[in-house]
Structure 1
Amino acid sequence: MIVNEQIKASEVQLTGIEGEDLGIVSRSEALALAKRHDVDLVCLSLMSSPPPCRLVSRSAAKQDMNARKRDEKRKEQPLKTKEIRLTPHIEEHDYETKLRQVEKLLETGHAVELTVRVQGKEGQQAKALLERLLADLKGRGAKETGIQVSGKGAAVKVVPTPSP
């Protein structure tokens, strides 16, 4: 964040404390105005000429900068994966409850690992159950991996679909 004397441009496009447009003024005039109102002159972008600057109270500028850092840090973190376990012989109301759980997790931005435990020759039932779940989740989530059927279970990882 470029503040006060760090701004090197000779003229700036100034916005007042209340958001009003003060037009293009010289850097020295903008700094004098900032001192008179006991606020900071903050440069919003260096990509244009003259650069847009704003009069902002010191605490508000710090809070804004900290909020941006927090958001960037949150976006950098990988998706957390939550596991939902099912059985091939699930009752309809239990299925609906699990479906709501998965939808809620996807809405909050978590990836979901759907796991079906099988015994014996229930592999095809487990795969059919996962395919039904994926069909019901269409629009909310997309499978990241294919349905993997092994000896003791079937699993698929679902990630949230980005909102338009």
Structure 2
Amino acid sequence: MIMNEKIKSSEVQLTGINGEDLGIVATSEALLMARKLKVDLVCTSLMSSPPPCKLIGAGAAKQEALAERKKDHKPKLKEIRLTPQIEDHDYETKKQQAERILKSGDAVLLVVSIRGKEGDRAKELLEALLKDLNPMGRKKTGIQLSGKQAMVQIDPL
């Protein structure tokens, strides 16, 4: 995002604070207008001539760029491995790790490795984690028990 003095074009297609079209204006004049209104002059695209620019409130430009970046972010699937005989502190740590991943917009795959007859314990552990993580995300798949592991995928809200 190109802002204020970094805009090198001699003239810009200007849009006002409330979205009104102000027409083609000299860049220096647009910068003066932005300073008077205590806002930023932000160039939205460099592909056209003259480049379209907007007058946006000082902090709003950065928030808009952040929102745009988040929108472009494709969610990833991140795996967290556990064992059925997990201690309380370790459980909390893994839960917080999953919460952090879900808040960042990525999906979580919880995998519990099973040895012997630990299948029921593994299922109980995943059900407890699903219950604790319910405010952050919802399960995409049911709990799958297969051979040596149990797993469930949780997508962010």
TM-score under structure 1 length normalisation: 0.61
Letter in 2 for 1:141: G
> Once the 2 structures are TM-superposed, how far is the Cα of residue 105 of structure 1 from its aligned partner?
0.9
Letter in 1 for 2:102: L
Aligned equivalents of 1:126, 1:5: Cα separation in 2: 62
1:127 — aligned with what? 123
Quickly say closer, same or farther: Cα 1:61–1:89, change in 2 above 3 A.
same
Give SS of 2:112's match.
strand
Residue-by-residue CA offset, 1:82-118 (whole Å, 9 max, x unaligned): 1100000001111011111111111111110000000
Aligned equivalents of 2:95, 2:84: Cα separation in 1: 14
Aligned equivalents of 2:109, 2:115: Cα separation in 1: 19
Q: Decide which of 28, 33, 42 is 1:38's aligned counterpart.
A: 28
> Once the 2 structures are TM-superposed, how far is the Cα of residue 121 of structure 1 from its aligned partner?
1.3
Q: Report whether the alignment pairs 1:61 with 2:51.
A: no
Q: Deviation above 3 Å: which 4+ runs of structure 1?
A: 4-7, 64-74
Quickly say closer, same or farther: Cα 1:138–1:76, change in 2 above 3 A.
same
| Fraction of identical pairs, as percent | 42
Aligned equivalents of 1:69, 1:135: Cα separation in 2: 35
Quickly say closer, same or farther: Cα 1:72–1:125, change in 2 above 3 A.
same
> Once the 2 structures are TM-superposed, how far is the Cα of residue 157 of structure 1 from its aligned partner?
0.5
Aligned equivalents of 2:153, 2:121: Cα separation in 1: 18
Size of the aligned set, in residue pairs, is: 125
> Once the 2 structures are TM-superposed, how far is the Cα of residue 75 of structure 1 from its aligned partner?
2.3
Aligned ranges for residues 69-148 of structure 1 at < 5 Å?
Answer: 72=68, 74-148=70-144
Which of the two has higher C-alpha Rg?
A: 1
Quickly say closer, same or farther: Cα 1:38–1:157, change in 2 above 3 A.
same
> Once the 2 structures are TM-superposed, how far is the Cα of residue 138 of structure 1 from its aligned partner?
1.3
Give SS of 1:113's match.
strand
TM-score under structure 2 length normalisation: 0.63
Residue-by-residue CA offset, 1:48-104 (whole Å, 9 max, x unaligned): xxxxxxx769x9332x44887885565244311111000000011110111111111
Structure 2, unpaired ranges of 5+:
1-10, 47-61
2:150 — aligned with what? 154
Coordinate RMSD, CA, aligned: 3.5
> Once the 2 structures are TM-superposed, how far is the Cα of residue 6 of structure 1 from its aligned partner?
7.4
